[in-house]
Amino acid sequence: MYIIVMIMLNMGQHRVVSDQILYPNMEMCEVSRILLVENLEKTKPNKTAQTFSKCVNLEIATPKVSL
């Protein structure tokens, strides 16, 4: 599974966010990430605001059960 992680910087402040969606593969994550960044660029509060984003593989470990 994959998630989108974003760091938004504006006027000396930062925010780390996700779109709260689990993606089954990297391709779906990347398509959503690109669309999300395009929308954020259109609505950013000023020219100096920046957004960094990445799709990250989220491995969920399952506990081993001893019998």
Q: Over the stretch 6-32, which tens digit does the pLDDT of each residue have?
A: 999 999 999 999 999 999 999 999 999
Q: pTM, whole model, 2 decimals?
A: 0.79
User: Are residues 55 and 26 in contact, defined by beta-carbon separation less than 8 angstroms?
Assistant: yes
Residue 9 CB neighbours (<10 A): 13
Mean pLDDT of the chain: 92
Q: Over the stretch 39-64, which tens digit does the pLDDT of each residue have?
A: 999 999 999 999 999 999 988 777 77
